[in-house]
Structure 1
């Protein structure tokens, strides 16, 4: 998904704004009467309209089968929103005195319906909808808090799922949407990176909007912490999947690896097009979004990332995990293709169960990375030749000849049928 979204209609009320995208998604930005902030995809809007239709008279419910109801227009007042469906019925959404959302078929008298249609005709003739772009980052809010307890006005069901030197991680439930989110609490005093790097992490995530990159929804801050509200991924780390396969003496089937690498390359191609260098691509920083068979993944942790300026080709700010570092990282001249080397290391690990380079010290790993070819003949005997060819192009010490993400996606390996791939027991 592109970082920008095209809107068909935008309607502003006294306290909130409702936007209808060209793809039919409804978004809400603003406050209800209780001061709760709404933002992001208003996923309940279409289903709520269908439910309202189902509770209307028999004829209406027959006309409004779930797969036929679509929102085509929106009008926003101070506290209520009117939704117009594709077959002309208007629904009202809004907050009552307790801030609870109510929805139902609007009982509009004939003059009101005529007025609605008149306003539509005037708007369409004199104020036609124009195509304009709204950046996702505009809607990632940043709000000050007195203390962490201020988060309780927005989230509930705090479940501690991780701790580290930087702070803590919770799974929370957003009060407005009811959705699960992840709250990453970064201690300003304990963070291993400078405050400026935390701001780069936030800026990078705000600038990116892709199905295979973890989404950021909100940022909160008090005197001691920065709180990042992130997308919740329930499928676990890719690293865990690798270790589980290793315990059973197996590596992942090549077809499965291809599916994972395609998503990674797509994310990197998009990321690099937005001038963002990740610097720390590894299986611990890749999560499965859920446990379904589709196995969609998301790249996470932009804590070491960097945003290049226009015309910038490289950076001297070296960072990362040593066994995934490209040769040029040790020379402190990183570029976008440094991420591609890390992707090659990851692909090698997924296919063989082994890292191409390892060592007991940083100097040992550096010597191997800068001087020695990976052991393709020994480790890749069970891997198809076309896959090994892609590996060689990713783990090429010559940066100029190393594949970019776009070039990797065009490689013949991604045209191989999954039926030709089998699981390999090591």
Structure 2
């Protein structure tokens, strides 16, 4: 499927969905070869297909059914075994897909060539490839087995598969043309990707919110508008928290729903303190509303221009701190196989305004052009980004993750010299690449030789000779920094060990609070995380955590491993930022109680300071399923225990806090 691409002026060309515009697309062998061969294992025979209804709907009904699937994001599964609307015919998988299968699933969904991937699955099971055959029900069952094996898509029962077949057999002829199969393929992958019942970690707590966004938020002001929507500053009506609300039009003529979905998936996958955090989204009939951090320090570009207007230069130490955080964030993104592709000074935001607010805290934003890449296909083809920071290989339409290193090098040059390294007077790729080969005017860089050396390496023309983000972080320019371990008191690590002794319910609650912790409240926790993440890859390994424990004299190896396992909620072998934050929140009691109160107010619908049982069910809706995976106690039993002895079936804030906020216990239970 040809996806929308961003023009150099920032707008996008509308996407076209290949199968809708090409009637002869069923047997596109040339496309299959260019996309690479997918080798799938032989499958066992499936019983004969059930009798299907042959009566065909009219053309208007066919179009209506196609549009229903094409122009909406997947509905999030709310309860185990049930779903909203039309997604309910495939049950939630009993076992979560492996980390590898889930990564592969996200890569396929975000792949600009997803149509070719679907075509390979389709062609593999065609009964007669040479004559342009179509998939019957038995053939579809084989495809579903392939999707289950390779991408973790749950295998439906025979009855559910029959319903699935009928729903996407738009013309009712008892077969699936590729156009129909492609809609089924994308819908099945979407449903699995957004199925909260199999999620672990921060993804559990970030999803589509019910209702209308403006019923929940006051619109304070509009921050900016563009071709595809607007960004607003909003304040939650019950908690008074401010958030940026990005409103994106989802019509095919403006921005395809697949592009919005890709941005959501990328943001869901990333959990780093210097990458913009998504807190949820709302869906209207024509608009998707993304809820994100309100970063009030402005863009890096604004800060640099303001400093220039005062006649003062930017201190090299400040620039080094900014670049270190940018590189850490992007090294993490690359480890998650995400390329930003539009890194520039306007997409680096400051948490606080001004140069006199202490150390800078920066956040990478705008993942709308970002691409996820697979290990088998690590190169991108769709040109996009901003001309002044686009790498030579992006202009050529054949790029990898190191294109972001070039863009970061342009930002570094700007901070060190006060101007951009390259500026052509046209949008002709040849003009820009000629400048790239010649190189910038290095005489404008009047800072240290080490800073200039790093910048020169990052702006190496050939990406094969350019260092990776991780290699840049090892440059001598960043070596003159205090020993991180010497700054970390032992009692902070005690709280991590106390976390593993808390009940399953309380640990799940800490995880939700950490997942929704605004960056402007988290600077102390971010500092701890960065101190312990010695290799700056955005995740904390068991070895890093155990070394930290040993350094401060906590040498019980069994307890170290138990602590790591309790913190590693998604079982991927690395502690993400949110998993680490959940563990250390016990050491920041003021912050913990403040965020608990915010969570309480969000669910106190009538603002009376009490939660009814339905309100409490909503309060714990995302926490209980996570706790249930460890301690098999039904939500009903848990709620009965919470409300035991309550007056008039209501729980006050103080009562709920005393029952749910953690205090260390030795035995792991649900309470």
Q: How far did 1:359 drift?
A: 1.3
Residue pair 1:165, 1:190 contacting (<8 A) in 2 also: no
State the partner residue of 2:420.
355
The 2-side partners of 1:335 and 1:193 are apart by 25
Q: How far did 1:174 drift?
A: 2.4
Q: Give CA deviations for 1:141-166 in whole Å, capped at 9, x if unaligned.
A: 11465xxxx22332235432222222
Query: Does 2:304 align with 1:273?
Result: no
Q: TM-score, normalised by structure 2?
A: 0.40
The 2-side partners of 1:192 and 1:153 are apart by 26
Contiguous gaps of at least 5 residues in structure 2: 1-78, 80-197, 483-671
State the partner residue of 1:391.
455
Q: Residues 309-388 of structure 1 correspond to what in structure 2 (within 5 A)? A: 309-363=374-428, 365-376=431-442, 378-380=443-445, 382-388=446-452
Q: Give CA deviations for 1:144-194 in whole Å, capped at 9, x if unaligned.
A: 65xxxx223322354322222221211112245432111111122498543
Residue pair 2:251, 2:257 contacting (<8 A) in 1 also: no
Q: Which runs of 4+ in 1 moved over 6 A?
A: none
From the superposition, tell whether residues 136 and 406 of structure 1 become closer, same or farther in structure 2 (CA, over 3 Å). Answer: same
Which has a greater percent of helix?
A: 2
State the partner residue of 1:400.
464
Residue pair 1:167, 1:190 contacting (<8 A) in 2 also: no
Q: Residues 102-181 of structure 1 correspond to what in structure 2 (within 5 A)? A: 134-143=200-209, 145=211, 150-175=212-237, 177-181=239-243
SS of equivalent residue, structure 1 residue 333: coil
State the partner residue of 1:284.
346
State the partner residue of 2:85.
none
The 1-side partners of 2:431 and 2:413 are apart by 16
The 2-side partners of 1:290 and 1:413 are apart by 25
The 2-side partners of 1:194 and 1:318 are apart by 17
Q: Residues 246-257 of structure 1 correspond to what in structure 2 (within 5 A)? A: 246-257=308-319
SS of equivalent residue, structure 1 residue 141: coil
Alignment size in residue pairs? 283
State the partner residue of 1:195.
257
Which has a greater percent of strand?
A: 1
From the superposition, tell whether residues 191 and 252 of structure 1 become closer, same or farther in structure 2 (CA, over 3 Å). Answer: farther
Q: Give CA deviations for 1:229-259 in whole Å, capped at 9, x if unaligned.
A: 0111111111101111222344311111000
State the partner residue of 1:129.
none
Task: Note the aligned Cα RMSD (angstroms).
Answer: 2.4
> Residue 415 of structure 1 is aligned with which of 457, 472, 479?
479
Q: TM-score, normalised by structure 1?
A: 0.62
The 1-side partners of 2:384 and 2:201 are apart by 29
Query: Does 2:209 align with 1:183?
Result: no
The 2-side partners of 1:357 and 1:158 are apart by 38
Q: Give CA deviations for 1:76-128 in whole Å, capped at 9, x if unaligned.
A: xxxxxxxxxxxxxxxxxxxxxxxxxxxxxxxxxxxxxxxxxxxxxxxxxxxxx
> Residue 362 of structure 2 is aligned with which of 291, 297, 312?
297
Q: How far did 1:398 drift?
A: 1.8
From the superposition, tell whether residues 223 and 414 of structure 1 become closer, same or farther in structure 2 (CA, over 3 Å). Answer: same
The 1-side partners of 2:458 and 2:309 are apart by 28
Contiguous gaps of at least 5 residues in structure 1: 1-12, 14-131, 419-426
Residue pair 2:249, 2:255 contacting (<8 A) in 1 also: no
SS of equivalent residue, structure 1 residue 389: helix
